[in-house]
Structure 1
Amino acid sequence: MIWDTNCGVQIGDPIQGHSDSVTSVAFSPCGEKIVSGSDDNTARVWNVRTGAPEGDPFLEHSQYVTSVAFSPDGERIVSGSYDNTVRIWNARTGALERDPLQGHSNLVTSLAFSPDGERIVSGSYDNTIRVWDTGTGDPEGNPFQGHSHSVSSVAFSPDGERIVSGSYDNTISVWNARTGSLEIDSLQGHSWYVTSVAFSPDGKRIVSGSLDNTVRIWDGKTGIPEGDPFQGHTDWVTSVAFSPDGERIMSGSCDNTVRVWNVKSGLSEGDPFQGHSHPVTSVAFSPDGERIVSGSDDKTVRIWNARTGAPEGDPFQGHSDLVTSVAFSPNGERIVSGSGDNTVRVWNARTGAPEGDPFQGHYDVVSSVAFSPDGERIVSGSFDHTVRVWNARTGAPEGDSFQGHYNVVSSVAFSPDGERIVSCSYDNTVRVWNAKTGSSEGDPFQAHSHEITSVAFSPDGERIVSGSDDNTVRVWNARTGTPEGDPLQGHSDWITSVAFSPDGERIVSGSGDNTDRMVTGN
């Protein structure tokens, strides 16, 4: 759920998609996306305005995902899990950026990026804290040892020089982030497990939440408690966070509510935010302090507007069958979707309202959709073996369908200049088309021995990458159709998705072997 931080009114409907409890949520630095982790073993990224998922769930953890966070630049996501590992993902593609970070001997409970994005801190049920190099995935020094029970929550100070940890030993500790030495040992005051800790934006205070149902503020330098505990929740406090200006604190609880507190007075600002039907597991402020996001055991994420309390759009409803493909327009104002109901739809990305009627013309499942670079056209591929181009404003088809494939068209994309379209098919070929005339440019690209599942242009439009059920990735000259080098081998099962990096130097691939690989693109 997302909430208004001033009046506690829920914004929009719950964000739904996880099949089990939501354990952790966080805003991206720009405030436009939310990442959530769940007991369904996945992490997901959502559009804050619409509540729509951005891409597929991140599927690599083998057990519950306990904690998620964006990097300061918003380009990466880190996740921790009951499988004892930490994983780093590309926030845009969902691809793993390296092998899992391994070292903890028990489940990972909490993690955070350093302010410069160069390090990650993790806490674990093995009673230790670890700091990792984000670039290499290597641990920096030895684990921080001092807690006598599970570490439940960790956070960097704003300057990146200190780490605060909360533990099931009922205490809070502050560590030197470089050496691992204790700077403040055992802040005591809670009468039960400490579940969540955070620094204030200026680094001068620490907030903590506990299973004793209270929230506490501590002096970040001395460890002395500031005032009395904040009381109001009727069940365990599971998550706490400061507002960006440091004037308010937000807490989530097993009493199913979110509360906002005045830091100076300790008083609750307004009534509790109500809407979740199960315990609230995670809360976060948006970067501008105008919205709150909350995750819950009711399997939902909710967003609440900070000023008006008005809902920010309803769920996107309209397709009568599963949605197979979605994409944003280049300006982010619209979303296109393809569906098993054989149609293409365009939606207002802010309101969730459909823009016009569904695009009708395919007579079988629409498998792939994409906007042209100028946002004026949409290309779609279908199980009916055809590719179609549509006017993105009116939904009118631009010319006849592109025909040439003799099996399912599985993936389509525009070239960066919008002049060409690439498609791939279960007929084992890749084709390039003139986007205006629909005529095939040259012969089909042939070399894969099985169905081709995904294609993409390089950023300069000179190369095409394809992935196939033959377990290989191939790079092609986009003008001549000749393969560039040998197939890229390494996956042990079919390739599900491929993409170039923005600079064209790397290619990422996903596979049915449950791995993602990144290789040099030239």
Structure 2
Amino acid sequence: MGAVFSNDGNRIVSGSSDGTLKVWDATTGTQIGNPLYGHDDSVQSVAFSPDGTRIVSGSEDRTVRIWDVITGTQIGSPLHGHDDYVQSVAFSPDGTRIVSGSDDRTVRIWDVTTGTQISDPLHGHDDYDCVWVSEDRTVRVWDATTGTQIGDPLHGHDECVQSVSFSPDGTRIVSGSLDRTVRIWDATTGTQIGNPLHGHDRHIQSVAFSPDGTSIVSGSYDRTVRIWDATTGFQIGDPLHGHDHYVHSVAFSPDGTRIVSGSYDGTVRIWDATTGTQIGNPLYGHDESVQSVAFSPDGTRIVSGSYDRTVRIWDATIGTQIGDPLHGHDRYVLSVAFSPDGTRIVSGSLDSTVRIWDATTGTQIGDPLHGHDNHVRLVAFSSDGTRIVSGSSDRTVRIWDATTGTQIGDPLPGHDDYVHSVAFSPDGTRIVFRSIDSSEKIWNYTNTPNNNYFLPLISKSKPFQSLYILLLHFV
């Protein structure tokens, strides 16, 4: 159930429900070497080490394994410790630690050099439904060199963790769970920092650190957004009330001064990340649930996609809708994203099409991109804006020329079920996507590398949002 790019963008690794991992050339789309055998059950999560020499994988067989990228062989023995499915694994930004999360409700941190577990498991959460950190309800960190677990599992979750994220500097981990708490962990010692952050009355669906790592934002089924001091763990101000239904998505603006949230109540709201006050009125316009929201690269606009079949662009400063709704899709809009230069928007829909829009005029650019035979679940631009990648319920990932709208090459097949998450690496050389079949696949594409990198961090119930955050901070 996972796939990620290598940091140089040349390779993609994918994990599958058949228990294997495969490495792909991101330029040619061809498989590199033989499948990596070892797991006895579905591979739920995979990740490259920052230097690209190793791969870590987590599986429903309850183990974490480390692989040599060049030889394709397993390094050392399986990392045993979790008592249930391992749903998510990732390297720390400096490559010295591995974190794993499981349905055993613990988070564990491991020293990559010594292979010892750092401190006790991070205990705390009390609810259930699942962090793609692992279905055993734990997060575990493994030594990527020796293959040993660092300290005990991070216990505390009594239910599945819906979302986890590292702080930008990699020193802390934040987790949100169905047990209604947010918890902060020391990524070095594995100890919980302070008490659980109580406040939400229902499942927490999304958590994220601010760009500077000083704050945390969380969104919940209790219809609130909350901001937390990432140092003290105290809630900053009162809950951000306003939404009349589930909060599906939260995100900080690029400069960290604002937060945008999208909800089942059909509204988009902008919040002051310092004071916690709502900026202006709710952004009304959508007639149904808002499924996806995103800031433009310069933070001046917001794009939203909705069940009402429209895409809308908003002025992020004054909160007014810019132009008319972007009509064209015949069914729910499931995903939206800005191009890196902010001039275009791409959308994916239940109508099986991908569409490109002029972000200034709101007009559709060219014809719909046809090819998928089922719902388009997620779309993203490459970092240079020349290509678009889309993932669909037809079990394929497709790459499109963002200028001509033509499909580049054949569909990238291989999944046995719906593709729920796709993304280009910021350097545009890799594509990562995730599927319900519990596999992650990586494909290589050639492009000029840069220092950016993003990967989906996947949560069982929110495959796109949660995992995007986690892998983003680990890579």
Tell me the TM-score range normalised by the shorter chain. 0.5 to 0.7
1:405 aligns with 2:329: yes
CA drift of 1:380 comes to 1.1
Q: 2:393 aligns to what? A: 469
Q: 1:107 aligns to what? A: 81
How many residues are aligned here?
A: 316
Give the TM-score taking structure 2 as reference length: 0.54
Within 5 A, what are the aligned runs for 1:44-193? 83-86=61-64, 103-104=77-78, 107-108=81-82, 117=95, 156=111, 160=113, 163=116
Residues 377 and 392 in structure 2, CA contact (< 8 A), matched pair in contact too:
yes
Distance 2:194 2:354 in 1: 43
Residues 109 and 187 in structure 2, CA contact (< 8 A), matched pair in contact too:
no
CA drift of 1:337 comes to 1.5
CA drift of 1:425 comes to 1.6
Q: 2:162 aligns to what? A: none
1:490 aligns with 2:391: no
Report % sequence identity.
51
Q: 2:293 aligns to what? A: 369
**Which residue of the other structure, out of 309, 328, 347, is the alignment partner of 1:423?**
347
CA drift of 1:77 comes to 12
Residues 314 and 320 in structure 2, CA contact (< 8 A), matched pair in contact too:
yes
Deviations 1:279-337 (A, max 9, x none): x9x974589xxx93445999999999799896434444321112233332111222212
CA drift of 1:121 comes to 10
* Alpha-carbon distance change, 337 to 307 in structure 1, aligned in 2, over 3 angstroms: closer
Q: 1:292 aligns to what? A: 193
Q: 2:361 aligns to what? A: 437
Distance 1:86 1:424 in 2: 34
Residues 389 and 397 in structure 2, CA contact (< 8 A), matched pair in contact too:
yes
Residues 376 and 393 in structure 2, CA contact (< 8 A), matched pair in contact too:
yes
Gapped regions of structure 1 (runs ≥ 5): 1-59, 66-70, 89-97, 123-151, 168-175, 181-195, 199-208, 210-237, 241-251, 253-277
Distance 1:342 1:404 in 2: 19
Distance 2:291 2:325 in 1: 15
Q: Secondary structure at the match of 1:364?
A: coil
Higher strand share: 1
Q: Computing the radius of gyration over CA atoms, which structure comes out larger, 1 or 2?
A: 1
Distance 1:166 1:418 in 2: 45
**Which residue of the other structure, out of 259, 262, 265, is the alignment partner of 1:338?**
262
Q: Secondary structure at the match of 2:193?
A: strand
Q: Secondary structure at the match of 1:446?
A: coil
CA drift of 1:505 comes to 0.8
Residues 359 and 396 in structure 1, CA contact (< 8 A), matched pair in contact too:
yes
Give the TM-score taking structure 1 as reference length: 0.49
Distance 1:485 1:433 in 2: 23
* Alpha-carbon distance change, 117 to 61 in structure 1, aligned in 2, over 3 angstroms: farther
CA drift of 1:370 comes to 1.1
Residues 322 and 341 in structure 1, CA contact (< 8 A), matched pair in contact too:
yes
Distance 1:100 1:353 in 2: 51
* Alpha-carbon distance change, 307 to 463 in structure 1, aligned in 2, over 3 angstroms: closer
Residues 453 and 468 in structure 1, CA contact (< 8 A), matched pair in contact too:
yes
CA drift of 1:114 comes to 9.0
**Which residue of the other structure, out of 254, 267, 283, is the alignment partner of 1:359?**
283
* Alpha-carbon distance change, 99 to 506 in structure 1, aligned in 2, over 3 angstroms: farther
**Which residue of the other structure, out of 382, 385, 388, is the alignment partner of 1:458?**
382
